[in-house]
Structure 1
Amino acid sequence: MTSTPLDVAKLYVSERGRIWRLVQRIVRNQAVADDLVQDSFVNLLGAASKSGNVQDERSYLSRIARNLAIDQKRRERETLTLEDAGIFAMADPIPSAEQVLADRQALKLTFDAMASLPERTRRALEMHRLGECTLAEIGRTLGVSTAQAGRLVLSGYSVVRDRLREAGA
């Protein structure tokens, strides 16, 4: 079916409400939904003028509107809102004296827990956490299987976690 501006105008009158509800369900914002409905019809008109032939205008229009709404939601997720930016601006970049002391105590507990580990377990944990080595690399270095390297790392993490929990950190 060849779409003319008059055909699109008639389609607008008959389909605007349906398309608006479709878009509104996705974006959850009336003003944005209004804009996206307008954009959908403009895109339909552009596609009709380029190709001169759109087979099923209602379906094509629905697809355009849905795609525009989904793209809008993606853009919203990728950008910080002004509220979010305000929250970050309120945060004090300098930790309090209490926080510094608590962090130092937790770090000391972590070092003490690591020092109490068997040599291979401690090395595996250090290589994984500090050296960012893969389990396969740890296994090769320590002369154990990858699975055993994973068990050593897990064991080390468990000891450190338990010590921190015991201390309430």
Structure 2
Amino acid sequence: MQRTHWSKSDKKKLVDAVYAHTKNNRTSWAAVSKLLNRTKNQCRKQYTYLSKSNPIQKNVRWSGRQFGQLFGSVLIHGQKWELIRKLQFPNFTAEQLRKKYALFQKRRQQGEFLIKMIMSDKIISKDLIPHMVKFYEHFKNLLFMYNNYDKMDIIARQAVTKVYEELNLSVLVEKMQKILIANGMEI
């Protein structure tokens, strides 16, 4: 069992074996090593290396479908991140899922606050215009909560387009209100 090189197929077999032989957050390295004809230590070290260096896990922009999957899982299972990771997101750690959820919740709250301020006409400064790119993300995230991501993305893009077309925020507020009302949403 002196094999040290790991081919792509060996790495895939390792990941599959680890998922198959992990129960209650404990991996049977003896079972994994038997399947791969390697030592327990080799398997554990290679899996640790793969899980830390996996590019899928780092700095990947999430799609609306992934957010929907995450929020659906949280609704069903609560904030049991390890269970959600095993069932839906094997390429992410439980901590990454928890942080992604917390960050989204924070941005959603910021977006709601900004929309309410704009809709109540409390923000009337033209200095707001440069911040609208950031606002687009908040607005889109807020609308995403209505469970139709593709439609919400279009609505958010329409709202941001209006920002660039209009320098007069009172006109912007009216147009954003019309977009929300036209799509059956009220704030």
What range is the shorter-chain TM-score in? Answer: under 0.3
What TM-score do you get using the length of structure 1 for normalisation? 0.26
What TM-score do you get using the length of structure 2 for normalisation? 0.24
Per chain length, whose mean CA-contact separation is higher, i.e. which structure has more relative contact order (CA < 8 Å, sep 6+)?
1
